[in-house]
Structure 1
């Protein structure tokens, strides 16, 4: 398995990965929603506000993880949210997602990102260091439909202290249907 952060020329493959994976697990409507989200993230997010990581096996993209910037108005720390993430359905349970996330979190850390947050399954993401967050520690940019899924971790030597100020996300994530 090879990890990459290159998207040029493979944007449609990345979009298809997310749409197909979410269609298989959550249905056609969710697949379309996430496919559109990924398309919007790739096409409209400034380069400095997004990281895209993929895992490849035999030349095929088998997993993807997209991190985009969160801004806390009164906090100087660099914060990125993982949303969304996907592993092709027939490769679940093989450690691919965890491997991709460990790689991605190391790259983020090396690039000065202080905090990583995601909104997903605490049991899965807990395996790579994500812990439950509350609104006092890290406000979400929009109301959460599943508050138990709001999780994060410090990527620095310091423990995660409360993030200060109102939170905003990139335009593509600024959609209540996603939250």
Structure 2
């Protein structure tokens, strides 16, 4: 466990689907509305419950006993490679802890703990760029489904080796096998 000022980051070995979902519910309801909060919290709980243990890595940020941030990584499989690729999705920080570096600290900690080759996410390039993510062409790293916002497809190498093209499409965790997420 890494401790930064007033914040503890840790890997959740057996993440509690309800506790994780609650952070997503509060965060996304505050920023995007109740419907989105329910949608993302249900996704998080489903990922935790249905993703094989070897294909998921979850991390949390704590202030004392309070869980204030969570992030989930799941494996993406590509047809003809042994490279280990993770998808960062979703992540959330409680509203009253946003804008304080909790999310960036949580991502940095999680990336330091993951064993793999590449991490990709589908999110805000301005936010994730602060933790080393950069635009990646979906031709180089194909998504499991067509992307509605291709500019949000961003990645980074965990090994510092260049990201070479992978043959796709990728196969994602069962909970993410819904074109609505993409």
1:94 corresponds to 2:114: no
Divergent runs of 4+, >2 A? 6-11
Distance 2:124 2:138 in 1: 17
Select the residue among 81, 84, 87 that pairs with 2:90: 84
Distance 1:10 1:44 in 2: 13
1:130 corresponds to 2:143: no
**Contact (CA 8 Å) 1:74, 1:166: kept in 2 or not?**
no
User: Which deviates more from structure 2 when the two are superposed, residues 24-33 or residues 9-18?
Assistant: 9-18
Select the residue among 151, 154, 161 that pairs with 2:154: 151
Task: Look up the SS of the partner of 1:25 in the other structure.
Answer: helix
Distance 1:103 1:75 in 2: 26
Q: Which consecutive residues of structure 1, in runs of 5 or more, have no partner in the other structure?
A: none
What displacement does 1:9 show? 6.9
TM-score between the two structures when normalised by the length of structure 1: 0.94
Select the residue among 34, 43, 66 that pairs with 1:37: 43
**Contact (CA 8 Å) 2:15, 2:58: kept in 1 or not?**
no
Distance 1:9 1:130 in 2: 25
Distance 1:30 1:61 in 2: 20
Q: Which consecutive residues of structure 2, in runs of 5 or more, have no partner in the other structure?
A: 1-6
The structure-2 alpha-carbon separation of the partners of 1:168 and 1:95, relative to structure 1 and needing over 3 Å to count, comes to same
Q: How many residues align?
A: 176
TM-score between the two structures when normalised by the length of structure 2: 0.93
RMSD of aligned alpha carbons: 1.2
Select the residue among 120, 124, 148 that pairs with 1:121: 124
Q: 1:1-179 residue pairs with structure 2 within 5 A?
A: 1-6=7-12, 8=14, 10-108=16-114, 111=115, 113-179=116-182
Distance 1:170 1:135 in 2: 18
**Contact (CA 8 Å) 1:70, 1:167: kept in 2 or not?**
yes
What displacement does 1:20 show? 1.4
The structure-2 alpha-carbon separation of the partners of 1:137 and 1:24, relative to structure 1 and needing over 3 Å to count, comes to same
